[in-house]
């Protein structure tokens, strides 16, 4: 009996993510669970991102998101457990228990969650949530309306399969749905990106001439569940709070005259003025996406990064986990004596159109590996550089439905692209910039 | 603070439109106006594009006069006839997506509480029967189960009026409408029972015939939602177009329906009664003094 009373309380078992609020040891006097959070001090975004000393930790992507939110001065967060989630939102619950997040609840499902995020952002507070795969599509009606309502917030998308049959595996096809919402969309390669993009996302989202939601995507499992090194600032500092008056559209707090879009019934009507008002509003949303470029350049070091580009025989363009695999492919190619450059796209909206035109001006071959069937990144790249580059573009290799991407697949495409040998993985129809023999395409499609 | 935005900036008053001047000089902001003063002050909602004889519009006008703090009230709605009038009012209105109103209001009221603490910022959802009992059902029920502190008002015209007269969950069994060519095959949804079992602190039914009752009900619901929990008002606001009620018979119809399926009912939890009595001096809810015991 006395033994069990003295049992040590394990608050953070080695190797397990913390999934509950750390219980105070029994003997101690009652400690304020919010004590540490209250001690946090506000620093400027510039100090937080560029000057604050960082230490390295080996954590999962979900934990990286949690640590980003801890330092981001988030007011409100709403969680939903499945369809299918990562651990991220329950870890945010831990932050709520510890006082780092002021308001938090478990919502009914994603439509309700994303609607409530819209309400909270209108109230003028800083909001965070996360979802994945079918959950993204379940919530996409409200998500697609956030930009039009000019609601700053950060939503993390830990991409999963959305197609039938129902599955929970990694596959980033949902990004293609998000690209046309009018929101800013980043794609994180690893845990470090996850940590940085979320924090920087809040600052960019709330800039007056932006005032838009930011989606931070990553490939589910590969980033959320796997561990990687993340360089983080100390826990004792946080970003400045959201200043509600700063937005391009007034918040609905009855302290400011309300935004006209909430009041104008004429926008709903069927006449020329109504169409015109709506058209102008859409133009303004996308103009705001454009205006975010300067902040992405400032805080994230550019919409894309380029490595190993000088005198490269071929260039791989990739985003998310495909960028990590591509980096290894670049190394394998170097071993074979092929010099391959790598462009990692960090921001999908806005898209680095000018940057790619410059970088690919003299490129002969572009390979675009992706974790989805449809190849949304290849379409984006081809549209961006059309008329500015004579490169042959290989829209592949593609893996989907949970498949991982062997690095050799990418190397094969680089080699066959350079030699003209027929690819075993990418249909001829997915190779842009060459003559396509329709007979060969149909033969390929019948035999895959 | 919020009253500042309904005042003119110095030097600008002569450039303001007459409507705006009337609102500043004769509006209800910062004053205690009542429905019995209707006609003697500028209402928050005056001009609207609703049909002639619309009972819903009358109800919305009465509701807006009844808000205890109109200058600190934010309304949330969804698609339907109601929003055409609500969006014309001189207070903020959120028109988000189809059926999202109770989800939006959950985030909005929590966010406002974070920023303004105890200072009342009243969030009031006003949406139709279709928006609330059909497409917005999940958000509505869950906001009640979560005990979200805001008021939900259903403008129940028992039909999808705005889209041209289709059956809704609140339509009576047997009614022949679009999408119910053989008559509705199941009963009117009992949202009142659901509100009670989901934990609403105040549930009431009203018809617009009795302005003072509407006023009393709205005031109680909004005040209780500030601190105690969710409140729900279900108002019969007939659609004279889809149910072919002659405009001069709209009030008569409301009276008939009141006698049939919309009797005035009011459910107040003990906690809410105590709150109204202690905080706002509602005498009807003061504990009855113990009868004087005379000992022989």
Dump pLDDT digits (tens) for B216-249: 999 999 999 999 999 999 999 999 999 999 999 9
Which whole number is the average pLDDT over B244-269? 96
Share of chain A above pLDDT 70, in %: 88
Which residue in B has a C-alpha nearest to residue A140's C-alpha? Answer: B97
Measure B118 CA to nearest chain A CA, in Å. 14
Measure B104 CA to nearest chain A CA, in Å. 4
Order of strands across the sheet that contains A103-106 = A103-106, A76-79, A127-131, A154-159, A214-219, A184-187, A347-349
Give the pLDDT confidence of B27-38 residue by residue, as tens digits. 998 888 999 999
- pLDDT score, position A1: 41
- pLDDT score, position A384: 96
Under an 8 Å CB criterion, which residues of A touch B?
75-76, 78, 102-103, 105, 107-109, 111-125, 127, 141-142, 145, 149, 244, 252-258, 262-265, 268
- pLDDT score, position A166: 86
Measure A148 CA to nearest chain B CA, in Å. 10
At residue B228's C-alpha, the angle toward residues B224 and B230, to 5°, is: 75
- pLDDT score, position A4: 45
Whether the predicted pLDDT of B254 surpasses 70: yes
Contact residues on chain B for A96, CB-CB shorter than 8 A: none
Helix, strand, or coil here: A305? strand
Give the pLDDT confidence of B59-104 residue by residue, as tens digits. 999 999 999 999 999 999 999 999 989 988 888 999 989 999 999 9
Enumerate the β-bridge partners of residue B156. Answer: B236
Which residue, among A107, A112, A261, A281, would best test binding to B if mutated, counting the most B CBs under 10 Å from its CB?
A: A112
For residue A20, name the pLDDT band (cuts at 50, 70, 90).
low
Long-range CB contacts (< 8 A, 24+ apart) of B251-256? B251/B55, B251/B209, B254/B55, B254/B207, B254/B208, B254/B209, B255/B207, B255/B209
The CATH classification of domain B35-268, taken from the options 3.40.50.150, 1.10.1280.10, 3.40.50.970, 1.10.240.10: 3.40.50.970
Q: Which of A208-212, A383-387, B4-8, B220-224 has the lowest mean pLDDT?
A: B4-8
Residue-averaged pLDDT of chain A: 90
- pLDDT score, position B296: 56
CATH numbers and ranges of domains, chain A: 28-245 (3.40.50.970), 304-447 (3.40.50.920)
Enumerate the β-bridge partners of residue B86. Answer: none
- pLDDT score, position A428: 78
Give the pLDDT confidence of A164-215 residue by residue, as tens digits. 888 889 999 999 999 999 999 999 999 999 999 999 999 999 999 999 999 9
Q: Report the C-alpha gap between B231 and A132 in whole angstroms.
A: 33
- pLDDT score, position A2: 43
- pLDDT score, position A15: 45
Contact residues on chain A for B16, CB-CB shorter than 8 A: none
For residue A26, name the pLDDT band (cuts at 50, 70, 90).
low
Give the pLDDT confidence of B141-198 residue by residue, as tens digits. 999 999 999 999 999 999 999 999 999 999 999 999 999 999 999 999 999 999 999 9
How high is the ipTM of this complex?
A: 0.94
With an 8 Å Cβ cutoff, are B121 and A264 in contact?
no
Residue-averaged pLDDT of chain B: 93
**Which of A76, A115, A119 is facing B114, going by the closest CB pair?**
A76
With an 8 Å Cβ cutoff, are A119 and B74 in contact?
no
Hey, where are the domains in chain B? 35-268
**Which of A105, A111, A263 is facing B146, going by the closest CB pair?**
A105
Give the pLDDT confidence of A350-363 residue by residue, as tens digits. 999 999 999 999 99
- pLDDT score, position B130: 96
Whether the predicted pLDDT of A49 surpasses 80: yes
For residue B13, name the pLDDT band (cuts at 50, 70, 90).
confident
């Amino acid at each position: 009996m006395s033994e069990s009373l003295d049992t040590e309380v394990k608050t953070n078992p080695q190797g397990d993510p913390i999934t509950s609020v750390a219980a105070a040891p029994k003997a101690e006097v009652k400690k304020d669970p919010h004590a540490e959070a209250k001690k946090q001090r506000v620093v400027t975004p510039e100090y937080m991102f560029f000057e604050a000393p960082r230490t390295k930790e080996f954590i999962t992507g979900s934990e990286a998101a949690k640590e980003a939110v801890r330092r981001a001065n988030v007011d409100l967060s709403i969680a939903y457990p499945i369809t299918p989630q990562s651990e991220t939102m329950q870890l945010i619950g831990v932050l709520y228990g510890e006082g780092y997040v002021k308001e938090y609840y478990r919502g009914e499902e994603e439509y309700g969650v994303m609607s409530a995020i819209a309400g909270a952002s209108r109230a003028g507070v800083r909001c965070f949530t996360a979802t994945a795969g079918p959950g993204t599509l379940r919530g996409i009606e409200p998500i697609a309306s956030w930009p039009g309502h000019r609601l700053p917030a950060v939503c993390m998308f830990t991409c999963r399969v959305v197609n039938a049959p129902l599955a929970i595996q990694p596959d980033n096809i949902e990004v293609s749905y998000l690209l046309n919402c009018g929101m800013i969309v980043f794609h994180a390669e690893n845990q470090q990106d996850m940590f940085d993009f979320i924090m920087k996302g809040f600052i960019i989202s709330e800039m007056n001439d932006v005032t838009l939601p930011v989606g931070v995507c990553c490939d589910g499992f590969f980033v959320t569940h796997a561990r990687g090194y993340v360089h983080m600032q100390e826990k004792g500092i946080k970003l400045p709070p959201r200043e509600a008056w700063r937005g391009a559209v007034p918040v609905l707090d009855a302290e400011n005259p309300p935004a006209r879009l909430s009041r104008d019934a004429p926008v709903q009507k069927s006449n020329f003025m109504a169409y015109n008002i709506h058209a102008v509003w859409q133009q303004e949303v996308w103009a705001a996406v454009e205006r975010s470029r300067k902040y992405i350049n400032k805080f994230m070091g550019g919409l894309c990064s380029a490595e190993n580009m000088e005198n490269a025989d071929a260039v791989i363009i990739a985003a998310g986990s495909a960028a990590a695999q591509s980096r290894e492919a670049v190394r394998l190619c170097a071993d074979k004596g092929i010099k391959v450059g790598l462009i990692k796209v960090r921001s999908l909206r806005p898209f680095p159109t000018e940057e790619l035109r410059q970088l690919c001006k003299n490129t002969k071959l572009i390979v675009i590996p992706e974790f989805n069937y449809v190849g949304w990144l290849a379409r984006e790249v081809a549209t961006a550089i059309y008329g500015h580059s004579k490169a042959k573009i290989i829209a592949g290799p593609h893996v989907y439905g949970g498949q991982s991407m062997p690095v050799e697949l990418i190397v094969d495409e680089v080699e066959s692209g350079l030699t003209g040998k027929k690819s075993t993985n990418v249909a001829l129809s997915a190779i842009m910039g060459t003559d396509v023999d329709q007979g060969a395409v149909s033969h390929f499609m019948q035999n895959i | 603070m919020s009253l500042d935005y309904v005042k003119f900036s110095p030097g600008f008053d002569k450039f303001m439109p007459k409507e705006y001047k009337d609102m500043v000089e004769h509006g209800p902001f910062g004053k205690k106006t009542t429905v019995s003063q209707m006609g003697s002050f500028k209402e928050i909602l005056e001009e609207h594009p609703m049909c002639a004889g619309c009972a819903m519009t009358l109800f919305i006008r009465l509701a807006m006069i009844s808000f205890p703090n109109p200058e600190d009230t934010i309304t949330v709605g969804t698609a339907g006839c109601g929003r055409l009038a609500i969006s014309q009012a001189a207070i903020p209105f959120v028109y988000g997506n189809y059926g999202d109103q109770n989800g939006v209001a959950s985030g909005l009221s929590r966010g406002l509480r974070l920023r303004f603490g105890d200072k009342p910022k009243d969030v009031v959802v006003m949406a139709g029967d279709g928006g609330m009992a059909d497409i917005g059902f999940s958000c509505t029920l869950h906001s009640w189960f979560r005990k979200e502190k805001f008021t939900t008002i259903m403008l129940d015209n028992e039909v999808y009026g705005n889209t041209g007269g289709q059956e809704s969950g609140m339509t009576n069994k047997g009614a022949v409408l679009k999408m119910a060519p053989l008559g509705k095959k199941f009963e009117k949804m009992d949202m009142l029972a659901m509100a009670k079992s989901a934990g609403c602190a105040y549930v009431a039914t009203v018809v617009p015939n009795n302005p003072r009752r509407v006023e009393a009900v709205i005031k109680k619901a909004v005040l209780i939602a500030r601190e105690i929990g969710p409140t729900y008002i279900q108002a019969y606001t007939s659609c004279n177009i889809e149910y072919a009620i002659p405009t001069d018979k709209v009030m008569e119809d409301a009276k008939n329906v009141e006698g049939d399926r919309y009797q005035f009912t009011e459910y107040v939890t003990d906690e809410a009664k105590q709150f109204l009595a202690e905080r706002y001096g509602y005498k009807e809810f003061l504990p009855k003094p113990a009868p004087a015991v005379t000992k022989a």
